[in-house]
Amino acid sequence: MRRTLLSVNLNKIALVRNAREGNWPDPVYFGRIALEAGAAGLTVHPRPDERHVRASDVPALAELVRQYPGREYNIEGNPFHNLMDHLRAVRPHQATFVPDATDQITSDHGFDLSDEAECARLKPLIDEAKALGCRVSLFMDPVPEMMAKAKELGADRVELYTEAWAVAAETPAAEGVLAAYASSVEAAIEAGLEVNAGHDLSLTNLAQFLRATKDVAEVSIGHALTAEALEFGMAETVRRYEAILDEVARC
């Protein structure tokens, strides 16, 4: 089975940093710990209100990732808001388009690609991001029927929004929810896309998700990982994720 890669999302390190003046905890410092512990990449979601990751963090983290050949930088955001400026400035390995409104507490839905007007607005931005050298991933709900359209628009990957899995894990609904994700992964791959996944994944729910979906290229994890790092430390937490990814890939 494909060995899924881990991209550590640093949003919540930045959130704690913003609680005081100064730059501590420094997202770059913790990004380096994550990379040194084996993470394949770093992710940030620089929201327009800078509630956590600030515009100034974006190039600083780009410089850090450049010091680790082979690791990747993934910048998430709404391409109709501030994301494209960040892509033009630092040309990350991957751009993840997320349809968040500026006042959303967190990401809570994927793109609705049945909306032709939305697709017409997205297409030129996908083209521009790819022309900048970024792999483009669209944040999507696990709806198999939407995957072919993502490919048609020029996306390289989709990122499946996994909050529904996190809620269902350890409940009687788990198997049914996993089946919807597995069908979405299958449909995406059949359409010629690769598949990422993220949102509310954790040390406790990750393995079952990956075993059921089988071919996920990358998971990006931040909220739970940061909470787990409060208990185990950042390096040990990343090592625990990497051990899960190794174990699942051996099955």
Ligand X SMILES: CC(=O)[C@@H](O)[C@H](O)COP(=O)(O)O
Binding region for ligand LD2JLWAY (CB under 6 A) out of 81-89, 177-185, 205-213, 222-230: 222-230
- Binding to ligand X, residues 207-246 (CB under 6 A): 220, 222
Helix axes 27-36, 234-250, angle to 10 degrees: 40
**Residue 221 makes contact with ligand LD2JLWAY by CB under 6 A:** yes
The one catalytic residue in 72, 76, 159, 228 is: 76
Closest-CA residue to 193 (of 117, 139, 114, 243): 139
| Tokens 């380096």 belong to residue | 32
Indicate whether 222 belongs to the interface with ligand LD2JLWAY (CB under 6 A): yes
In the numeric block, which tokens belong to residue 112?
């609705």
The burial of 154, by beta-carbon neighbours within 10 Å (0-12 exposed, 13-18 middle, 19 or more buried), is given as middle
- What lies within 8 Å, CB to CB, of 112 at 6+ separation is 99, 118
Residue 46 contacts ligand LD2JLWAY per CB under 6 A: no
Q: How far is the CB of 120 from ligand LD2JLWAY (least distance, A)?
A: 25
CA angle 228, 209, 204 (to 5 degrees): 25
- We find the least distance from the C-beta atom of residue 150 to ligand LD2JLWAY, in angstroms, to be 16
Q: Which of 40, 188, 198, 203 binds ligand X (CB under 6 A)?
A: 198
200 is in an annotated binding site: yes
User: Would you please indicate which residues are annotated as catalytic (active-site) residues?
Assistant: 45, 76, 199
Per the annotation, binding residues for 3-amino-2-oxopropyl phosphate are 9, 20, 200, 222-223
